[in-house]
Amino acid sequence: MESLHKTSGAVVFAFLILHLTNHLVGLMGIDAALQFMDAVRLVYRHPVVEMGLFLALTLQIITGYALCRDIWTERKDIIHQLQAASGIYMAVFMIVHVAMIGVARYVFNLDTNAYFIAAQFQVWPWQYVAYGFYGLAIMALFTHMGCIAFDIFKKKNRPAAWVMLLLVVGIGGYVTYLLMAMYGGYLYGIEIPEEYSRFGT
């Protein structure tokens, strides 16, 4: 079960890094984010790749639930508990986020690009939900990665393992701050197209 979780996790992790990079490119402007997304979509929007990602995500959630159950049943240490909790939130986020994208794409015929995210941060009252929903997702991702880094280093150098955990979570906090500020319109103005504003309401 754990080996399958790691294998599917590697695929999902590669996509998440690419996806997070897309958001960070947005720090250079909304047009930069749109152009970067158009380029990388040539890869991950390919039907075969998209189906592979969906399968990997499904396996990740199923195997992750089983591993979390074992962690809580066996009452493992705080790092494992933190890893399980962050994993559960990421699973919930991914299910809801994929469902939202599906509705936007196939029901409202919207391109789920940077404007789709920005609209959720700037249309009342959804911005209050968006900050928590997306902010916690980013922090959960970095916390999960930090716990994995801790697990890698703990056998050889436990103090270094704690440093890696805190470093990765700290970077996650800074990335969260930057992206929340960007999509909230605090770094530069984002003019939301009307069709996205309507979807937000």
Condensed to tens digits (0 to 9), the pLDDT of residues 105-151 reads: 888 899 999 999 998 888 777 788 999 999 999 999 999 999 999 99
Tell me if 91 sits within 8 A of 61, measured CB to CB. Answer: yes
**Gap between the Cα atoms of 89 and 96, Å rounded:** 11
Q: How many domains is the chain partitioned into structurally?
A: 1
Residue 20 is part of which domain span? Answer: 2-200
List Cα–Cα distances, 187 to 23, 28, 56, in angstroms. Answer: 14, 10, 35
**Gap between the Cα atoms of 49 and 42, Å rounded:** 10
Tell me if 80 sits within 8 A of 71, measured CB to CB. Answer: yes
Residues contacting residue 31 through CB under 8 Å, at least 6 positions apart:
none
Tell me if 142 sits within 8 A of 161, measured CB to CB. Answer: no
- Does pLDDT of 96 surpass 90? yes
pLDDT exceeding 90 applies to what percent of the chain?
57
- Does pLDDT of 178 surpass 90? yes
Over range 46-62, report the average pLDDT. Answer: 90
pLDDT exceeding 70 applies to what percent of the chain?
98
